[in-house]
A and B are shown apart, each in its own frame.
Chain A
């Protein structure tokens, strides 16, 4: 067969085109919808006092942003349902497997540490090419003792790193641990995760691609059925990984490295400055620095690993506020460099920018509600400000695109009964939006470039 005579017409290609067309139609439709509030708000614009003009412009911008995110959800979901699915590194059964270090950061993890170490000792990977490096970062429980027992029993396979000084926090611990790493590939698992036998090979496979700087696997809640919150988090995770991350992978956009059940190419990370210990979300930080450095982060949807999700609202709120603060920090740091990058395709820039902005949307939305109310009280409601407010609430708290995305994830996971819980997600979104907003304002108030990191942990429930 000649170089230019390839049979590329396949069913998937046909689907791709359809999805592309639908996406375009959606984009145009939403652009029209987005322009409506702006147009409405702009009527008699010039006659308004300046503070009203500012409020109108702000409201128009926020609503347009929400519509952009709405389109993004639809594009991702349609891609997952009908588009070409990319799993380019799946099922590499035989390979010259490289030496790998699995890092397990642990801070007071006596309940779960033995289980992950047992699981890692059982993985299907050449023993002489796999080392487990456990960071005991100032644990005050039995973690150091348990770790020493395992390290003494398996001196060739488990290395104990008792960290007693330096800045606190996972990023700082990882940065220090890298001095003990001699391999070019590291995988990171939080201590409460349970890797299956084949997971290490699956996560290492993408590194045969010289463009890959980081890889992310799929996280699956093990305690999904514990209560309503865990079931809602299970749905959220399904939507986030099964649809969002895989769609980004399919469309060659920006899958995110999540800090656990994933891996990093050390030479790539070092080339972009190593772990950023000042970052509150070292995973997001690494994703964007690698992206700016010309390295790809890839997602492996079938590299699945169980995790424990928060079982109380207090834990959940703490977790999501922490993520939001780290994410917003990364947004401030990388938003402009991302948009100014000359080499990156525009769609990668757009997806990266939208990914950076996901947690900034909630405070913007709350401000937009306040603005809409303010305009209404000022009598500026001829453009339908209340309708705009209603649309904004609907889009933020329970827009159909997000439900569609989660429902699609349950369909893809072949667990359709879970979709019955979708209406409850609206309450989850409301709590998240308000708490993320609160966290953002607290972050702004306490902003300090010299802020020190500290360990954030979700309380472990699993029996030892």
Chain B
């Protein structure tokens, strides 16, 4: 092989090695397989009623006719949407299980009864109230009126009632559960995302502890020495305990753990690593934690409660103040019976449970 040939081969080899990584790139430039703008989150996807609203739109567009027809003739009507999604429309007061509706979309033209111990693996809609006995499993449910489920009920994806929605003990609620009025979860229930103007975990009850008559205002000179105050916000660079029966006015950021004593009050928002709110403590703003929050009996939080770890709400806690709503959001949440939340409780990793 001559030097010239060897040089030429070497040159071709070098050029080949250099351009090799460019071949897929050039192909992508020519073919534009993935050239569209990145899709971003759909509008309102975070809304608790997102799926319910989409289903209602399908009902409005595709099933308004059959619903009106059944309301007029008073007997069931079967059919399918585009030849694939089978549905059955039932007259008011019908028992869904009588028509073997388990694997069809069930649409009630009035009140609807799901019976007991039945599985409904397609969408359910009730134009009136809905009643379900024990151990009923539903997948996606929209109710225009009130809804009552017995013990051991399960919802697999979402459920929304325009009025009151209540579950008996031991409910397993995956996905989104929402109500336009009052949502009641009983003991031993587990949930992921619940949302309603009023959410009752077990029967509401008041704190058994007394709130102090007058709270003493904490002075700035009682804070740790290295604290810094800017405007209405105070930074504390170590663990901090707010004494029982005292009041702090302003936002409080603690670079450590925060312990609010019994009956103490913060007129503002707080942030800390771990937060412990003792009996009847009250926070006028938000509570934010980079770890866990423990709210003991009778705690009141007027704003949102956000924790990057675990949240425990003891009996008789109140989160949010009507008409304003608030959210509780954490990786896992335990709620004792007797607590009321006005707004939303969303668990983003594990699950929430109503303890017994």
Q: Which residues of A contact B (CB under 8 A)?
A: 1, 3, 6-8, 10, 86-96, 124, 196-198, 201-202, 208-211, 220-225, 228, 231, 234, 238, 267-268, 270-271, 293-294, 302, 304-306, 343, 413, 415-418, 420-424
Name 10 extra pairs, CB < 8 A, besides A93-B47, A208-B304, A221-B37: A3-B274, A95-B325, A124-B47, A209-B286, A209-B306, A210-B269, A210-B288, A268-B230, A268-B231, A415-B34
Which B-chain residue is minimally distant from A424 (CB atoms)?
B25
Alpha-carbon distance between A234 and B38 when the two chains are bound, in angstroms: 9
Chain A residues closer than 8 Å to B21, beta-carbon distance: 422-423
Chain B residues closer than 8 Å to A415, beta-carbon distance: 34, 38
Query: Do the beta carbons of A423 and B22 come within 8 Å of each other?
Result: yes
Alpha-carbon distance between A24 and B37 when the two chains are bound, in angstroms: 37
Which A-chain residue is minimally distant from B341 (CB atoms)?
A94
Number of A-B contacts (CB under 8 A): 169
Q: Which of the residues A6, A87, A92, A223 comes within 8 Å of B309, measured between beta carbons? A: A6
Most chain-B Cβ atoms within 10 A of its Cβ — which of A91, A93, A197, A305? A93
Which A-chain residue is minimally distant from B324 (CB atoms)?
A96
Alpha-carbon distance between A222 and B39 when the two chains are bound, in angstroms: 9
Chain A residues closer than 8 Å to B334, beta-carbon distance: 1
Chain B, residues 262-303, CB within 8 Å of chain A (1/0): the string is 000000111100101000000001101010101000000011
Alpha-carbon distance between A220 and B39 when the two chains are bound, in angstroms: 9
Q: Which of the residues B37, B47, B268 comes within 8 Å of A210, measured between beta carbons? A: B268
Alpha-carbon distance between A223 and B35 when the two chains are bound, in angstroms: 9
Q: Which of the residues A10, A94, A420 comes within 8 Å of B325, measured between beta carbons? A: A94
Query: Do the beta carbons of B28 and A417 come within 8 Å of each other?
Result: yes
Q: In this assembly, does B171 line the interface, its C-beta being within 8 Å of a C-beta of chain A?
A: no
Query: Do the beta carbons of A420 and B28 come within 8 Å of each other?
Result: yes
Alpha-carbon distance between A258 and B286 when the two chains are bound, in angstroms: 26
Q: In this assembly, does B225 line the interface, its C-beta being within 8 Å of a C-beta of chain A?
A: no
Alpha-carbon distance between A209 and B274 when the two chains are bound, in angstroms: 14
Q: In this assembly, does B43 line the interface, its C-beta being within 8 Å of a C-beta of chain A?
A: yes
Alpha-carbon distance between A196 and B276 when the two chains are bound, in angstroms: 37
What bracket does the count of chain B residues touching chain A fall in? 35 or more
Chain B residues closer than 8 Å to A7, beta-carbon distance: 310
Alpha-carbon distance between A220 and B290 when the two chains are bound, in angstroms: 29
Query: Do the beta carbons of B32 and A225 come within 8 Å of each other?
Result: yes
Query: Do the beta carbons of B235 and A267 come within 8 Å of each other?
Result: no
Of B65-73, B111-119, B139-147, B342-350, the one touching chain A: B342-350
Query: Do the beta carbons of A208 and B46 come within 8 Å of each other?
Result: no
Alpha-carbon distance between A211 and B40 when the two chains are bound, in angstroms: 28
Chain A interface helix/strand/loop/mixed? loop
Q: How far is the CB of B57 from chain A (nearest CB, A)?
A: 16
Q: Which of the residues A124, A208, A228 comes within 8 Å of B269, measured between beta carbons? A: A208
Query: Do the beta carbons of A210 and B233 come within 8 Å of each other?
Result: yes
Chain B residues closer than 8 Å to A197, beta-carbon distance: 43-44
Q: In this assembly, does B251 line the interface, its C-beta being within 8 Å of a C-beta of chain A?
A: yes
Query: Do the beta carbons of A417 and B33 come within 8 Å of each other?
Result: yes
Query: Do the beta carbons of B230 and A91 come within 8 Å of each other?
Result: no
Chain B residues closer than 8 Å to A208, beta-carbon distance: 269, 285-286, 288, 303-304, 306
Task: Give the 9 A-B residue pairs with the shortest CB-CB distance, closest first.
Answer: A94-B343, A417-B34, A225-B35, A210-B251, A94-B325, A197-B43, A304-B40, A96-B324, A420-B28
Q: In this assembly, does B188 line the interface, its C-beta being within 8 Å of a C-beta of chain A?
A: no
Which B-chain residue is minimally distant from A270 (CB atoms)?
B231
Q: How far is the CB of A248 from chain B (nearest CB, A)?
A: 15
Query: Do the beta carbons of A196 and B41 come within 8 Å of each other?
Result: yes
Q: How far is the CB of B185 from chain A (nearest CB, A)?
A: 16
Q: Which of the residues A91, A221, A294 comes within 8 Å of B346, measured between beta carbons? A: A91
Alpha-carbon distance between A255 and B252 when the two chains are bound, in angstroms: 22
Q: How far is the CB of A290 from chain B (nearest CB, A)?
A: 11
Alpha-carbon distance between A101 and B57 when the two chains are bound, in angstroms: 33
A-facing residues in B182-226 (Cβ within 8 Å): 195
Q: How far is the CB of B313 from chain A (nearest CB, A)?
A: 12
Chain A residues closer than 8 Å to B294, beta-carbon distance: 1, 3
Chain B interface helix/strand/loop/mixed? loop
Q: Which of the residues A93, A196, A210, A304 comes within 8 Å of B48, measured between beta carbons? A: A93
Alpha-carbon distance between A87 and B348 when the two chains are bound, in angstroms: 10
If A209-B288, A417-B33 touch, does A94 touch B195 (CB 8 Å cutoff)? yes
Alpha-carbon distance between A89 and B292 when the two chains are bound, in angstroms: 15
Chain B residues closer than 8 Å to A225, beta-carbon distance: 32, 35-37
Which A-chain residue is minimally distant from B47 (CB atoms)?
A93
Alpha-carbon distance between A348 and B174 when the two chains are bound, in angstroms: 39
Chain A residues closer than 8 Å to B276, beta-carbon distance: 3
Which B-chain residue is minimally distant from A7 (CB atoms)?
B310
Q: In this assembly, does B228 line the interface, its C-beta being within 8 Å of a C-beta of chain A?
A: yes
Q: 13 A-B residue contacts at CB 8 Å?
A: A8-B309, A88-B308, A95-B304, A95-B324, A96-B321, A196-B40, A197-B44, A198-B47, A210-B271, A221-B38, A228-B29, A294-B235, A424-B22
A-facing residues in B225-268 (Cβ within 8 Å): 228, 230-233, 235, 237, 251-253, 268
If A6-B309, A208-B304, A423-B21 touch, does A95 touch B230 (CB 8 Å cutoff)? no
Chain B, residues 15-58, CB within 8 Å of chain A (1/0): the string is 00000011011011100111111101111111110000000000
Query: Do the beta carbons of B43 and A202 come within 8 Å of each other?
Result: no
Chain A residues closer than 8 Å to B25, beta-carbon distance: 420-424
Alpha-carbon distance between A391 and B250 when the two chains are bound, in angstroms: 54
Chain B residues closer than 8 Å to A221, beta-carbon distance: 37-38
Query: Do the beta carbons of B37 and A294 come within 8 Å of each other?
Result: no
Q: How far is the CB of B27 from chain A (nearest CB, A)?
A: 7
Alpha-carbon distance between A114 and B24 when the two chains are bound, in angstroms: 40
Query: Do the beta carbons of B288 and A224 come within 8 Å of each other?
Result: no
Alpha-carbon distance between A94 and B268 when the two chains are bound, in angstroms: 18
Q: How far is the CB of A259 from chain B (nearest CB, A)?
A: 19
Q: In this assembly, does B312 line the interface, its C-beta being within 8 Å of a C-beta of chain A?
A: yes
Alpha-carbon distance between A26 and B28 when the two chains are bound, in angstroms: 33
Chain B residues closer than 8 Å to A220, beta-carbon distance: 37-38, 40
Most chain-B Cβ atoms within 10 A of its Cβ — which of A87, A89, A221, A421? A421
Query: Do the beta carbons of A420 and B24 come within 8 Å of each other?
Result: yes
Query: Do the beta carbons of A302 and B41 come within 8 Å of each other?
Result: yes
Chain B residues closer than 8 Å to A91, beta-carbon distance: 46, 329, 346, 348
Alpha-carbon distance between A94 and B301 when the two chains are bound, in angstroms: 14
If A94-B325, A95-B325, A224-B37 touch, does A198 touch B28 (CB 8 Å cutoff)? no
Alpha-carbon distance between A422 and B26 when the two chains are bound, in angstroms: 11
Q: In this assembly, does B354 line the interface, its C-beta being within 8 Å of a C-beta of chain A?
A: no
Alpha-carbon distance between A92 and B334 when the two chains are bound, in angstroms: 19
